[in-house]
Structure 1
Amino acid sequence: MIIFTGSGCPACGANPGERINDKALADIREIINYREALNVAVDALKARRLDAALACDLHRILLAGSRGMDREPGCIRTVQNFIGRDARIEHAIFVPPAPENVPRALADWEAYLYREGKDTLVQLSVLIAQFELIRPFCDGNGRIGRMLVPLILYEKELTASPMFSISAYLERHRPAYYERLLAVSRERDWNGWIAFFLRAIEEQAEENGRKTKAILDLYTEMKQTVPEVTRSQYAAATIDAIFGTPIFDTSGFYDLSAIPKESGAKILRDLEESDTIQLVQKGRGRNASIYVFPHLVAITEGNWL
């Protein structure tokens, strides 16, 4: 039985004592997958360049146990896909390249990725549009495409870490997002897409600045709250762990914090009783319990204003 306790979870919208539905669990799984894929990417980029092969590796992680997991995750498609209102290709709104043309299209994409551009943000906007229009996978192209934004910024040394995401902006402006991409395909309107994308970068950067301040304020608050709640010598390690991974399972918490299991279990109980963290899924058998640090998720997911 999956029970959520507390005052409501901003990650999935569950209310106190309410059974979390499958959609909410799927959303949480996607968040966990995204973080795992991002960590894998950071490690990989220490030894190799970002390319289509790495995108395949990340795609496999993103779709694990999630939407599209039965659609050949990590594999370049060998069938024709399309975007439409029904399952008939003749009604399609957009038809990407035929499968036999995808490897060449990705090779061209990589060549442009490695090119030194005069304006890296303009280059980034073109790269993301190209990838979205190639649609190299059977499913999950949007998810991997949006992950490429922070990774490209990171690889080109415009950010110190790959944490800059514009997914929230694109979600809020989804109709314009799709329309601008379709305009590139239909009318070669690159200027319209680039203007939209650069506006997304600018507005998301401003929002991220506000979120950063809110996170710092929360961190200051937790430096007082967690020691009071836990009365533990491991309070500092606990704070770093839940800020580092705000949705986590018990085994991950022990590993990340390096806190002995017995002490860690008591800390988690204390934090749950004080509503500092909330139970998402109770462990059973070999499956560890999953918790969320809702105050941080509320900030990062945009429900904090």
Structure 2
Amino acid sequence: MLRRLPNSNLLLSPLRLQEAVLSSRIEGTLATMGEVLQFEAGEAPQLEARRHDIEEILNYRSALDVATRELKNRPFNLNLLLRLHKVLLSSVRGHNKAPGEFRRQQNYIGSRIGGVEQIRFVPPDWMKLEHSLSNWEKYYHSDDDPLARLALIHAQFEFLHPFLDGNGRIGRILIPIFLFEHGLLPEPTFYMSEYIEQHKEEYVDRLNDLGRVRNSWRLWVEFFLNAVTAQAQRNATTADEILRLYENLKEKFIAATRSRYAVPLLDAAFQLQYFQAGHLQWKGDPPSKQTLMIMLQALERDKILRVYRSSAGRRASIWWLPDLEGIVERRR
């Protein structure tokens, strides 16, 4: 599916943002994909808590982007892992928990029940981390079956819990970058947070059982491979829907604007979904401001674009491409 997409970076950018939203939601954020897009377009959230959530989501997406760029030039290593962690926790919740550094104290995994902290799992002593992470990195680059190896790499990372905060999100980032680096995908655009969020209880139980229950490692690998299968089918279906929407919108943009800038405008709007006219990024020479406004108004008149926020004083209008968000958010 990815190899037949004419521009996977453009068409699947909504999926990358959705992954950032869902992975952060597992850790307790509440911001939606729409709120993140609106924030990037210049619409400030009404609640300060939402702003913090959005910044965490944007950091997650930035970490994915950093990993993608780095892996095109050099293989994965522990230094890259530290860099991704630093990007993830930059200026957000957890910024005071040693971003970009492996832990030098004991941590634990727990939850608060009835006002009392319940400890579910205590990771290995931090004094053993250096040796364990070295072995983990070697196995990452071993010759075992890649999908089964990925299942074990993900589980062992969560078992080691090498950071004071952000382990879950980094563990989920490892999945697409492993598949990309080992040639199973042409781009790191395979995201598992949707499945993990929907099956969180079983996911946690399978990890907690490792080494303590008979056949627990086999059961974990089975769970992980079933998750990969189900998520691959969902991702392929969504990518196909996005591609069909793009082709449909291309015809509508050309018919509504009758302009040579119709497809470049679609590409620019498709990547942002919510945007101010001045925020659009163009390949080649951009249209004049007057031409652009005429095009946007024609698209609004034909109900292809909508005005999310009208202009007022110095505040510019925000335009919205609603159909794409509907596909990614599974709204009908």
What TM bracket, shorter-length normalisation?
0.7 to 0.9
**Residues matched between the structures, number:** 292
User: Is 2:39 aligned against 1:11?
Assistant: no
Matches within 5 A, 1:82-231: 82-86=108-112, 91-117=118-144, 119-184=145-210, 186-187=212-213, 189-227=216-254
Could you tell me how far apart the structure 1 residues matched to 2:155 and 2:188 are?
19
Gaps of 5+ in 2: 1-30
How much has 1:101 moved relative to structure 2?
1.8
- Please identify, of 84-93 and 31-40, the stretch whose mean Cα deviation from structure 2 is larger: 84-93
Q: Which amino acid aligns with 1:194?
A: V
The answer for the alignment partner of 1:3 in structure 2 is none
Distance 1:48 1:238, change over 3 A: same
Which of 284, 297, 300 is the matching residue for 2:325?
A: 297
How much has 1:85 moved relative to structure 2?
2.1
Distance 1:161 1:90, change over 3 A: same
Alignment deviations for residues 184-223 of structure 1 (CA, whole Å, 9 cap, x no partner): 1544721111111001000011111211221012102221
Q: Could you say what the CA RMSD is over the residues aligned between the two structures, in angstroms?
A: 4.0
Matches within 5 A, 1:31-70: 31-70=57-96
TM-score, normalised to structure 2, is 0.73
Q: Which amino acid aligns with 1:297?
A: E
Q: Which amino acid aligns with 1:58?
A: L
Matches within 5 A, 1:12-27: 12=34, 20-27=46-53
Could you tell me how far apart the structure 2 residues matched to 1:290 and 1:179 are?
45
Distance 1:217 1:104, change over 3 A: same
Contact 1:12/1:25 (<8 A) preserved: no
How much has 1:83 moved relative to structure 2?
0.9
Distance 1:145 1:267, change over 3 A: farther
Could you tell me how far apart the structure 1 residues matched to 2:84 and 2:294 are?
33
- Percent identity between matched residues is 36
Could you tell me how far apart the structure 2 residues matched to 1:248 and 1:227 are?
20
Gaps of 5+ in 1: 1-8
Contact 1:254/1:264 (<8 A) preserved: no
User: Is 2:235 aligned against 1:235?
Assistant: no
- Please identify, of 65-74 and 91-100, the stretch whose mean Cα deviation from structure 2 is larger: 65-74
How much has 1:250 moved relative to structure 2?
7.2
- Please identify, of 52-61 and 238-247, the stretch whose mean Cα deviation from structure 2 is larger: 238-247
Could you tell me how far apart the structure 1 residues matched to 2:95 and 2:284 are?
31
Could you tell me how far apart the structure 2 residues matched to 1:173 and 1:21 are?
29
Could you tell me how far apart the structure 2 residues matched to 1:223 and 1:269 are?
14
Distance 1:289 1:115, change over 3 A: farther
TM-score, normalised to structure 1, is 0.78
